[in-house]
Structure 1
Amino acid sequence: MFSENEHGEILNEHAELAELRDWLRVVGLKIDMTSGKRAADREVDVIARVSRASGAAQTYAIEIKRTVPAELATALHPHASLPTLVVARTITEQAAGLLRERGIDYIDEAGNAHIAWGDVLIDIRGRRKAGGRTSGSTSLGSKAFGRAGLQVGFVVLSWPTMAAEPLRGLASAAGVSLGTAQAVVDDLVKAGYLYDVAGERRLGRAGELLNRWSEAYSTRLSPALSLGDFEVPDIAWWRESADELTRSNVQLGGEAGASILDPHLTPATLTFYAEELPRSLIARHRMMRAERAGNIHVRRRFWTMAGQSWVVPPALIYADLLASGDPRQREHADRIRISDDRLAGLDRL
């Protein structure tokens, strides 16, 4: 049923809608498809009217994914003006709970579903998909939303003027090859996120790009960045550690970074970005390796921009909060998306 679009997401082609119709038919619903098109301020996979025999109906913006883990359930951006229906081959139980909490409807191949509007309520949980079936597509999607492409996207979202830089400079800043940078720029131009003004590339539809980038980041780039998780009894020391982190070539991200952007936030975890494990910092603060997640996360810095602050750029803080799978951190992300001038500025581009 599913093939991938230019965003690296899973699209259903009109010739392959039978499965989706079947999934909904099982729960007593009918779907009338229109062509996939841009609606309001962002692209959606498809817009559809879902109805039941009584005539009750709802028009949905449908997001079609291969799998939805908890990280993606918090990173998904519901449509601004239409209710969102997530369709996937597999939606984990934790992800399903998070989608319900966020008011996002869903259905998966096994028949798990939560669909609610008016007097319609379908709530099916705990079903397991029969083994042996896999999606027919093995592509990881476009260059722009693959792992290396996300590094390029991060640079142009964090420093929009970098969009106009020669490709060699952009590749160096993102830590990717020149060929990769060229392919990613071509994809971003094709999708309308970069455009040309008098021979100079500029960033456009940046708020939409941030949405798509942060969703892809949660499942493609973020899981590859961990250098180690640690535990300490008290993380309060970080507030007086700007100079220490700078000397250790470490930058602050995650919840603690968000609390720099919005002082009303009280972080429960620390996220550090570094080229390698900062062993002197670990020893000095007696960080112990955590068997589970821990309250300190050390992650690989994948960009190379010079003259940086001791705090990572807001786009990365925002994406890490979404990728945490923690509803509380999702709330923090929503707050800084509005309150931080750099993030709010992207929404105006």
Structure 2
Amino acid sequence: MAQSTARERQVLDLCLASLHALPDCRPEFIPAPEPEAGGTLEMHGPWGCCRYRVVAVTRMTPQTAELIVHRHRLDPPSIPQMVMTDYVSAGCGETLRQEGIEYIDTAGNAFLRQPGLLVEISGRKKASRTPKAGRGFQPTGLRLIHLLLRKPEALNWTYRRLSNEAGLALGAVGPVLKELQQRGFAQPDDNGRLHLCNRTELFHRWEIGYLERLRPKLLLDICRPAADLALTALPDLIVKQGLQGQLQVGGELGAALVLQGTRPQRATLHIQDDPLALMLRLRLVPDADGNISLLRALDPRLGKDPKNARLTLADPLLLHAETTGGGNHADELAQQIYQRYLARHLSPRSTHRSQDATHESR
């Protein structure tokens, strides 16, 4: 894990105070050695002693809860885990409890279940707000992290090249890189070259930030296909209209094209051009309840090569984020994307030269 932020440390302190308030409960928190975050929690009481690995989540939303559940299913923990977070609403608590995921928040809401220990508290009001997250996990920083996760070697590019390829202001690059080093996500070797560390945790944090903060800012419109047009016919229509180089296909449709043999229910199109013109050419109808989301593409170079004859799919990072928590079918797609494309790429043992994970077909 990476170095704790001030906000994470405050969440941990307030959650520990909530644990101390439980009757006959004596918690003992053992911080992980720097530069790691979280730590180990030992709970002592009349029932005996139990031990947890602490996972800090600074902001719990329904999407975050679904991601935690998905991660729990994908990689079940070998020892009990306790999620410490700012506030668990009734809906989020139900999601976590159904999966058997233990938690406590800064207001004292809790779900603990170990031999001899059973605590369930809900309905307490939200505690005072904790400090704002660092710049690295705000929309601007998330754009840069997306590039670094795709191409870890980019850590050693010039600031100007990073700003051009991530689509952010030149002055924003340095502070984000500095924060990544402070958190333990980027570390120099003996020759001074930076290496991306703790990739899996960085990906999980990026995914939460993307869904909560960045994606809403990228959303241009929501629509549906014309009545006589099936969602699965959209790729052929994109090719017929010569729009291959103008957009990236993501969401369930993009994942289905990568994995093959699955029937998608929703789609995301990442674009840089006028959404209305695109909708007219692809026969898409504006609909707030539609199954196609139009997003401003993260890649600022998209559309600069209109002669590209191949249909481009969103990279696996985006495909996973856009399918996780979307229901059983979508979660299955996300799991397959992770196992096939992300597990090795994010592995700490991965020493191969990273390649841009953008998919192309047709």
Normalised to the residue count of structure 1, the TM-score between the two structures is 0.81
Q: Which residue of 1 aligns with 2:318?
A: 316
The alignment partner of 2:113 has SS state of strand
1:12 to 10, 17, 35: 10
1:302 to 298, 315, 338: 298
The alignment partner of 2:313 has SS state of coil
- What's the offset of the Cα at 1:147? 1.6
- What's the offset of the Cα at 1:70? 0.9
The alignment partner of 1:251 has SS state of strand
Q: Which residue identity lines up with residue 133 of structure 2 in the other structure?
A: L
Instruction: Tell me whether 1:210 sits opposite 2:203 in the alignment.
Output: yes
1:221 to 211, 214, 217: 214
1:235 to 228, 231, 235: 231
**Cα distance change, pair 173–8 in 1 and its aligned pair in 2 (3 A):** farther
Q: Which residue of 2 aligns with 1:140?
A: 133
1:81-160 alignment, distance < 5 Å: 81-125=78-122, 127-129=123-125, 133-135=127-129, 137-141=130-134, 143-160=135-152
**1-structure distance, mates of 2:88, 2:262:** 30
**Cα distance change, pair 109–159 in 1 and its aligned pair in 2 (3 A):** closer
**Cα distance change, pair 212–81 in 1 and its aligned pair in 2 (3 A):** farther
The alignment partner of 1:304 has SS state of coil
2:270 to 261, 270, 273: 273
**2-structure distance, mates of 1:107, 1:288:** 44
**Cα distance change, pair 124–157 in 1 and its aligned pair in 2 (3 A):** same
The alignment partner of 1:139 has SS state of coil
Q: Which residue identity lines up with residue 38 of structure 2 in the other structure?
A: D
Q: Which residue of 1 aligns with 2:60?
A: 68
The alignment partner of 1:345 has SS state of helix
- What's the offset of the Cα at 1:27? 6.8
Q: Which residue of 2 aligns with 1:58?
A: 50
The alignment partner of 2:59 has SS state of strand
Note the residue ranges of structure 2 that are not aligned, 5 or more in a row.
Answer: 351-362
The alignment partner of 2:260 has SS state of coil
**2-structure distance, mates of 1:288, 1:50:** 56
1:143-222 alignment, distance < 5 Å: 143-197=135-189, 198-222=191-215
Per-residue CA distance 1:284-308 (angstroms, 9 max, x = gap): 444333334x211111113324679
Q: Which residue identity lines up with residue 188 of structure 1 in the other structure?
A: L
Instruction: Tell me whether 1:336 sits opposite 2:337 in the alignment.
Output: yes
Report if the CA contact (8 A) 1:21-1:30 is conserved: no
Report if the CA contact (8 A) 1:147-1:221 is conserved: yes
Note the residue ranges of structure 1 that are not aligned, 5 or more in a row.
Answer: none
Q: Which residue of 1 aligns with 2:22?
A: 26
- What's the offset of the Cα at 1:6? 5.3
**2-structure distance, mates of 1:245, 1:51:** 66
- What's the offset of the Cα at 1:154? 0.3
- What's the offset of the Cα at 1:326? 4.2
Q: Which residue of 1 aligns with 2:286?
A: 289
**1-structure distance, mates of 2:19, 2:271:** 46
- What's the offset of the Cα at 1:260? 2.8
**1-structure distance, mates of 2:231, 2:212:** 27
Per-residue CA distance 1:260-286 (angstroms, 9 max, x = gap): 332254321001111245323423444
Report if the CA contact (8 A) 1:256-1:270 is conserved: yes
The alignment partner of 1:272 has SS state of strand
**2-structure distance, mates of 1:65, 1:196:** 27
**1-structure distance, mates of 2:293, 2:40:** 39
Q: Which residue of 1 aligns with 2:247?
A: 250
Per-residue CA distance 1:90-145 (angstroms, 9 max, x = gap): 223332232234432122345433222335443444x1416xx522x43322x322
**1-structure distance, mates of 2:110, 2:43:** 14
**2-structure distance, mates of 1:245, 1:33:** 59
RMSD: 3.1
**1-structure distance, mates of 2:6, 2:142:** 11
- What's the offset of the Cα at 1:157? 0.9
Report if the CA contact (8 A) 2:19-2:27 is conserved: no
The alignment partner of 1:310 has SS state of strand
Per-residue CA distance 1:132-175 (angstroms, 9 max, x = gap): x522x43322x322221111010011123322321110111111
**2-structure distance, mates of 1:312, 1:335:** 15
**2-structure distance, mates of 1:89, 1:194:** 27
- What's the offset of the Cα at 1:325? 5.7
The alignment partner of 1:85 has SS state of strand
**Cα distance change, pair 327–58 in 1 and its aligned pair in 2 (3 A):** farther
The alignment partner of 2:312 has SS state of coil
**Cα distance change, pair 129–276 in 1 and its aligned pair in 2 (3 A):** farther
Report the number of matched residues. 331
Q: Which residue identity lines up with residue 31 of structure 1 in the other structure?
A: P
- What's the offset of the Cα at 1:23? 4.5
Report if the CA contact (8 A) 1:167-1:178 is conserved: yes
**2-structure distance, mates of 1:28, 1:327:** 40
Identity %: 23
